[in-house]
Structure 1
Amino acid sequence: MNAISLDATDCRILAVLQNEGRISNLDLAERISLSPSACLRRLRLLEEQGVVERYRACLNREVLGFEMEAFVQVSMRNDQESWHERFVSALRDWPEVVGAYVVTGETHYLLRVLAHNLKHYSDFVLNKLYKAPGVMDIRSNIVLTTLKVEAGLPVDLIAHRGEPKVS
């Protein structure tokens, strides 16, 4: 899929929206120095083009009782028929899995898992993950400290696509 071209104003709109998704159109227009009608037209176009997929709130996992986060590498027995489809189907039913990726390297999948505590995580691994069809090996990496989390995309790199950004 080819990336669409965005100008500097579009990028400023996106940068503000990623940090303040509930900002009013009037405040957004003022922040990026556009008239409210021009700002709304640009925003609607970005939504229609699929650049802005949806709006949502960022929840604080620790305040909500999810004290544990882990990245889990899962290796599969690929001698079973439909092993990938069966695993993907199973993981869709696991609310603890908040991110799932097919990866290169020694394992097949990388999962981001949230749990209330070690007991909850252990129950998930033993009663769900290990029982999933085709699972051969699981390696957990427990998060001790989070150094950086960016929920958005690096909008400042859009204009420099394919070339290094000079600071």
Structure 2
Amino acid sequence: MEQIVIDEADLRLLDLLQTDASQSNQSLAERAHLSPPTSLRRTKRLRQLGLIEREVAILSADRLAPVLGHGLTALVEITLERQGAELLDAFEARVLPVTQVQQCYRVSPGPDFVLVVHCHDMPDYLALAQRLFTSDTNVRNIKAFFSLKRAKFDPRLALPAKLSV
């Protein structure tokens, strides 16, 4: 695995891009205090290093609700009966391609997994739960917490202004 070396200019670019990835290179360069060619070259390198996984539009669930409905968001704790590496990997492999599973974390201590799930409604959640959890003989316990209100959602990573050595 290639060792990743970045500097403060890279951190500024990463921070600016995770705030607004749609800005022009000219604007990005200006805000990062770099020349446009340098900004473009560095941003391309950050993508190649895999530090920028992808660029997406974050949709407003509240603004879409009148059209699509509010949907149902649940935080789901999953505990497996047996936790061998191959069984943990197998569970992950089953949930990762499922569109309703927005996030999947392998955690410790406590449950083995915490999932963030967004479904159209309760029947959609029930069908998902039966397909992914109830039918899996290795799933011992399922605990779901249903969101009443999303007070904060921010996908940004907190980045330092300077690198410590």
TM-score range, shorter chain: 0.7 to 0.9
For structure 1, which runs of at least 5 residues remain unmatched after alignment?
A: 163-167
Percent identity over the alignment is: 27
Separation in 1 of the partners of 2:18 and 2:75?
Answer: 25
The one-character-per-residue Cα deviations of 1:15-64 (angstroms, maximum 9, x if unpaired) are 11111111111111122232211211222222233222222222234515
Number of aligned residue pairs:
161
User: How many angstroms does 1:4 deviate by?
Assistant: 4.1
TM-score (norm 1): 0.80
Asked if the contact 1:100/1:111 (under 8 Å) is kept, the reply is yes
Give the CA deviation at 1:94.
2.5
Query: What corresponds to 1:56 in structure 2?
Result: 56
C-alpha spacing 1:161/1:111, structure 2 compared with 1 (3 Å): farther
Instruction: Give me the whole-angstrom Cα distance separating, in 2, the residues matched to 1:81 and 1:27.
Output: 47
List alignment gaps of at least 5 residues for structure 2. none
Question: Is 1:35 the counterpart of 2:35 in the alignment?
Answer: yes
Could you say what secondary structure the match of 2:88 adopts? helix
Q: Give the Cα–Cα distance (whole angstroms) in 1 for the partners of residues 84 and 44 of structure 2.
A: 47
Residues 76 and 137 of structure 1 are in contact (CA less than 8 Å); yes or no, is this contact kept in structure 2? yes
SS of residue paired to 1:133: coil
Are 1:96 and 2:100 counterparts?
Answer: yes
Higher fraction of helix: 2
Alpha carbons of 1:18 and 1:37: their partners in 2 closer, same or farther (altered >3 Å)? Answer: same
Distance 1:146 1:2 in 2: 38
1:22 counterpart SS class:
coil
